[in-house]
Structure 1
């Protein structure tokens, strides 16, 4: 194994609690605000089966990436695993797909939260943009101060988020009615399939923290433990909120744009739009903070390994802060948000482009796991299950796989140009 793909020789200061909080923030994204209602609208109470299926399927996916992170604790994350399994070209492809997906996904989440704030306090598109830029600035500053500061912030955000969701569920349960489960499948049992595809966005994120594996105090022990804690917490919270949405809100919940806020208002009272805005901001901050941290480390590793300009390599070692890579992620995020806002197309195209990129990352990552993990191990069996699930996800993604295809071409072209430039430089050195 070459030096670039070997495990980091030193580790950082992230604790299990901070790691679990980063996982929860990455996975428990903005989808929990609206997706329970959207899934219920598609499949009725049977949407609860879709939630359960994805909770079960997320376990092997999380276990696969945690096992890889424990064995190869490097800032490259999935790109490092793919490098070890399939070589530098495949590594560059998966690295580009993830790195350039974050500047598309982060603005989508920020615009989503901004819309909630505008609905609560007014100001229209100006409030949306101001909130969005504010969120990008906040998570950029947090990560510029170091992953330890970012990890502490994530613990606070995740604690507030978990408390908010638990309060929403517990306070609204006196209004639950079993009668709301009937009819259980008003649109037929086949409606569970599109409901499952719709909910996939809510379970993306298990790969994001692998880029921070070297930042854990003891990666081999702490990363799988943090991942396991997060799987349990995320699964229970998703099922609790989805169950409460169906049992409490009934058929009307499928037409709500903010079921979580409605549960809170029903249980404890308050102004629904302000409550929804607060929930959206908490969820968005947690998600963006986790992804900015992972993407910044990845960019530094790609610069170190030659898949991106070497200028980005600063901060690739465990404990170092990748401020240059972070600045690129933040700048591209702001640019993408400004372009989408000027075009007036909303956040949906960014969401779908991001989903297509992550499907590619998952496919290559789980395929690498099948080559790298011991064949008789539980982790290898988890990787087999995860790859099957990812293939199904790829089929549901459809045309939006063209975006990661474009990123793949870009990565290969960059490597080829870099190779030619190095060859010309070598020839000049020989002549001189």
Structure 2
């Protein structure tokens, strides 16, 4: 960056305003909420209740607790060195250029594969209300993809404002869903608490892996914050509180209000809304599905495009993709590559009517690998920080290793990307990285 973070902040304090193209606290919190509070809110409360009954609430609570050290680790790293390279930058500092290239490829070539899956998920939920079959589903998904990429074509400031609207609307509608179902809550539905045994909590927790991802996403946008040292940590805390309350509240009311019928596939949220709004609840649930999908897509498209530009800048991708890596820049060339990858995957899935679950799991495996190496980098780079920062990084690493085991054979995809990245490194030597954060 042309100016240091300290110089930028000093200048902002003198002017008393947020410079063009920079994220503020509210927009940063919205991006975090959109990245983490993903499409899992539509299906997972019901699916986990089906797996473990009311005991699934233990898995949800564990998810929130496990999110704390992971979120804290990435927030500490992002606040200390705001850079569009995100986790790749931290890994470069800790373990060198080859490891940074590998982790960068995991995210840059892994996340776009899952973006069409998000679009299809939201589109299929909408189709349940309007009808039209697969043709309608594919059309809705295409429209969601177009909106997501267009929002990012005009820069992160526009993207941040869009995210603020999406996340705010989503949170409001989820609160409404919880409140309208409260009169139907019956504590008797908590019995028996563990109908399938306490061991069922494990499989229920495994279902929540998809909802666990997202905390690394905003690190790629850390340089876009007006006051990164202050607002990244504040945004992380705000997002943790919002996500924890919404996730646990939705899971709890699903069990209390729906009882034995809570174990439906992807309609538990619609069922909750129907309790208070009748048939209109299905329409409202579709609106929530669209907001959730667009919010998650927006966060991942923005961060992935920024990462690609940063990787190009550092020599880990072709140099022609490097424009827009600077703070405030719009990485349109990198965004175009992300669009091509996601578009190709979308067209294949649309034409073959294939199941999108493998796309989701491949992406989860890649993002889990990013988490693991990023947490390891945090354990090394935060040693000169507080003991709490180092402990959070170590705890995060242990948690992620467990989650990676749950992904099974889908770890083949990040392994393939690892081999490709190492071949690139052998053919395109890069400058050695600085050993520590500045």
TM-score tier, shorter chain, comes to: over 0.9
**Greater shift after overlay, 373-382 or 87-96?**
373-382
Match of 1:405 among 379, 402, 415: 415
Q: 2:199 corresponds to which residue?
A: 190
Q: C-alpha displacement at 1:377, in angstroms?
A: 2.6
Cα distance in structure 2, aligned partners of 1:7 and 1:361: 25
Cα distance in structure 2, aligned partners of 1:44 and 1:77: 38
Q: C-alpha displacement at 1:268, in angstroms?
A: 2.5
The unaligned stretches of length 5 or more in structure 1 are 423-432
Q: Spell out the pairing of 1:281-430 with structure 2 (5 A cutoff).
A: 281-374=290-383, 376-419=386-429
Q: C-alpha displacement at 1:10, in angstroms?
A: 5.2
Offset from partner CA, 1:255-301 (integer Å, 9 cap, x none): 25211111111123233442332111110000000011100100000
Q: 2:269 corresponds to which residue?
A: 260
**Greater shift after overlay, 343-352 or 9-18?**
9-18
Cα distance in structure 2, aligned partners of 1:130 and 1:342: 12
Cα distance in structure 2, aligned partners of 1:186 and 1:289: 39
Q: Spell out the pairing of 1:20-39 with structure 2 (5 A cutoff).
A: 20-39=29-48
Q: C-alpha displacement at 1:215, in angstroms?
A: 0.2
**Greater shift after overlay, 109-118 or 294-303?**
109-118
Q: C-alpha displacement at 1:398, in angstroms?
A: 1.2
Secondary structure of the structure 2 residue equivalent to 1:100: helix
Cα distance in structure 1, aligned partners of 2:41 and 2:144: 19
Contact 1:43 1:185 in 2 (8 A): yes
Contact 1:135 1:285 in 2 (8 A): yes
Cα distance in structure 1, aligned partners of 2:25 and 2:67: 20
Q: 1:427 corresponds to which residue?
A: none
Match of 2:238 among 229, 236, 257: 229
Q: 1:107 corresponds to which residue?
A: 116
Cα distance in structure 2, aligned partners of 1:416 and 1:340: 34
Aligned residues between the structures: 418
* TM-score, normalization by structure 1: 0.94
Residue 177, structure 1, aligned to residue 186, structure 2 = yes
Contact 1:117 1:127 in 2 (8 A): no
Q: C-alpha displacement at 1:102, in angstroms?
A: 1.7
Cα distance in structure 2, aligned partners of 1:382 and 1:412: 29
Cα distance in structure 2, aligned partners of 1:105 and 1:349: 9
Q: C-alpha displacement at 1:101, in angstroms?
A: 1.5
Q: C-alpha displacement at 1:85, in angstroms?
A: 0.2
Contact 1:8 1:318 in 2 (8 A): no
Cα distance in structure 1, aligned partners of 2:99 and 2:383: 21
Q: 1:425 corresponds to which residue?
A: none
Q: 1:129 corresponds to which residue?
A: 138
* TM-score, normalization by structure 2: 0.92
Q: 2:127 corresponds to which residue?
A: 118
Contact 2:309 2:324 in 1 (8 A): yes
Residue 61, structure 1, aligned to residue 87, structure 2 = no
Residue 210, structure 1, aligned to residue 219, structure 2 = yes
The unaligned stretches of length 5 or more in structure 2 are 10-20, 432-438
Cα distance in structure 1, aligned partners of 2:355 and 2:57: 29
Match of 2:90 among 65, 76, 81: 81
Cα distance in structure 1, aligned partners of 2:125 and 2:266: 10
Could you say if the C-alpha distance between residues 17 and 53 of structure 1 is closer, same or farther in structure 2, counting changes exceeding 3 Å? same
Cα distance in structure 2, aligned partners of 1:402 and 1:418: 24
Q: 2:176 corresponds to which residue?
A: 167
Q: 1:141 corresponds to which residue?
A: 150
Q: C-alpha displacement at 1:344, in angstroms?
A: 2.6
Offset from partner CA, 1:27-82 (integer Å, 9 cap, x none): 00001001000000100000000000010000110000000001110000000000
Cα distance in structure 1, aligned partners of 2:261 and 2:32: 32
Match of 2:28 among 19, 35, 46: 19
Cα distance in structure 1, aligned partners of 2:323 and 2:172: 38
Offset from partner CA, 1:347-400 (integer Å, 9 cap, x none): 101001011001100000000001100354311111111111111111111111
Secondary structure of the structure 1 residue equivalent to 2:317: coil
Structure 1 outlier segments of 4+, above 4 Å:
6-12
Contact 1:8 1:73 in 2 (8 A): no
